[in-house]
Amino acid sequence: MAAAPAHIFFFTSVRPLLLSASPAAGNARRGGRPQEIQKTQNGHLKSGREMMAAVDNLKRLCIDHYFEEEVESAVGAAMDLVHSDDLLEATLSFRLLRETGHDVSSDDVLRRFTNGAGEFSLALSNDIWALLSLHDMSHLNMGEEASLHKAKDFSSKHLASAIRYLNPGLGRYVRQSLDHPYHLSLTQYKARHHLSYLQGLPNRKSTAAMEELATAEFHLNKLLHQKEMEEVKRWWMGLGLAQEVPVAWDKVLKWYMWSMTIIQGSSFSRYRVELTKIISLIYIVDDLFDLVGTQEELSLFTKAVKIWSTAAADSLPSCMRSCYKALYTITNEIADAAEKEHGMNPWGELFDGFMVESKWLAAGLVPAAEDYLRTGVVTSGMPLALAHVLFLLGHDHAAYSDAAKLTADHIPPAIFCPGKNLRLGDDIGSAEDEAQEGLDGSYRDLFLIENPRCAANDAEEHMRRLIVREWEELNREYFRRRTFSSGFMQACLNAARMVSVMYSYDKEQRLLVLEDYARMLLL
């Protein structure tokens, strides 16, 4: 969490900068540094802490890409302050360093704030901003970091207790931070809430220019996203699958929001449109397997996909033939490249997974919970979607030759973790949403069968612990960039963040967070 707003960047003119941020400007918004920006106080910030707080605000408002030099300067300040005796300085520094790929030990940073047993001092609970920053830091855990587990418990407990005593604006901000931690949440969604909080402060001189830029960029992004979604709608209506396939419902908004989240940046507009088409077909194929096809028809469908030839679809029922032709036409180039270079057909892996699940259902078999989950990662569609993202972004996004062996038995952690969390999140959401029937199985139900002494709440808590472990593994991949480039790793991280939005509920209003996200950023 940012410190109390610092007196930082003012703009002599925001308008020229906004023009460079327009959708038509393409790469300009991610590239060169705008010349219209000047710093106050003779070009210098007062302190390293103030610089870090400023950069934290810029990152939270999703406009830090305009200020690469300031971010680099703040990293230098963070190296000086990461072992500060001030909790806010130390945690801000740690987060900035880890986010920029620096190797820093959380145990070393937090040791000075704990006693011999590793427990945090109660005196720290009086500083709300430091607690918020500690809470944000705790979600950067890469696994065996005991101090971050304790930091999460300590900060969560005392922040929740403090809400009733805070002014309403800050109380809402703290509640939102607890329900949607910064690192685990969609940056655009968090940016809107952060902007709303800043706009509610009585003294906004220090952040007015940032707010103006963030607001303008938000509206430009919204216009671009609306244009992209209209293009997808036209494609969908022209495709005619809604008339040919009985389960092909119009869910363009849901399909597009995945792409809007996974691939960000105005220069990737075309990629978002193409990825939405892929995602729509994943949903449709899933429904064909669950609700329409017989075992014989589904087996023929799978064989046709593996042959990957238009003639292979001739013997299929009409609805499957139409779906196959759409699938073949839209994904042919990417799928051919994947098979030629890596010996795999990404759609073939997905269909094999669907066939396994359909056989379980048809024969009344009860798979082991782990077998169900392993197959469920594939049938979540996440590996297929991210495989297409990998090839859309370019083959240089794989740092090693074995990075793209995306078979069911060899899914890299960066892709496997979002897929596993998607399957677990979907199953938890089905359990919480009475309108979802969960006809194709549930990890929770299978876990309860294998552990009859456990209650349903115990099973769901176990699933949430599994999700936390996958986040830790994803963090290791993301912060250390061991396998893929930063661009593709960002897409994987965004995909994992979208999972929590897709299947989370507002605890008070019982609304899908997805609805709030769509209303805020797109509609």
Q: pLDDT tens, 369-414?
A: 999 999 999 999 999 999 889 888 875 545 444 544 566 678 899 9
Task: Check whether 11 has a pLDDT greater than 80.
Answer: no
Domain 218-522 superfamily per CATH: Farnesyl Diphosphate Synthase (1.10.600.10)
Note the pLDDT of residue 332. 74
Phi, psi (rounded to 5 degrees) for 366 = -110, 100
Mean pLDDT to the nearest integer, 224-247? 90
Question: For the purposes of burial, counting CB atoms within 10 Å of the CB of 331, is it exposed (0-12), middle (13-18) or buried (19 or more)?
Answer: buried
The percent of residues in the chain predicted with pLDDT above 70, rounded, is 82
Res 272: pLDDT? 94
pLDDT of residue 21: 43
pTM for the predicted model, two decimal places? 0.88
CATH code given to domain 47-183: 1.50.10.130
Per-position DSSP letters for 338-398, written without gaps between them: HHHHHS--HHHHHHHHHHHHHHHHHHT----HHHHHHHHHHHTSHHHHHHHHHHHH-GGGB
Q: Which amino acid is at 335?
A: A
Query: What is the structure's pLDDT at 394?
Result: 73
Per-residue model confidence as pLDDT tens digits over 466-493: 999 999 999 999 998 777 888 899 999 9
CA atoms 165, 171, 175, 178: torsion sign: negative
What pLDDT score does 34 carry? 41
- Domain regions of the chain by residue span: 47-183, 218-522
Quote the pLDDT of residue 346: 74
User: Shortest CA distance to 402 belongs to which of 341, 473, 353?
Assistant: 341
What average pLDDT does range 405-428 have in this prediction?
A: 86
Query: Is the pLDDT higher at 212 or at 9?
Result: 212
Tokens of 143: 């696994």
Please say if the pLDDT value at position 154 is more than 90. yes
Cα–Cα dist 30/267, whole Å: 9
**Per-residue pLDDT tens for 85-99?**
999 999 999 999 999
Residue 437's pLDDT is 43
- Asked whether the predicted pLDDT for residue 423 surpasses 60, the reply is yes
Mean pLDDT over the full length of the chain: 83
- 43: nearest Cα among 75, 80, 70, 81: 70
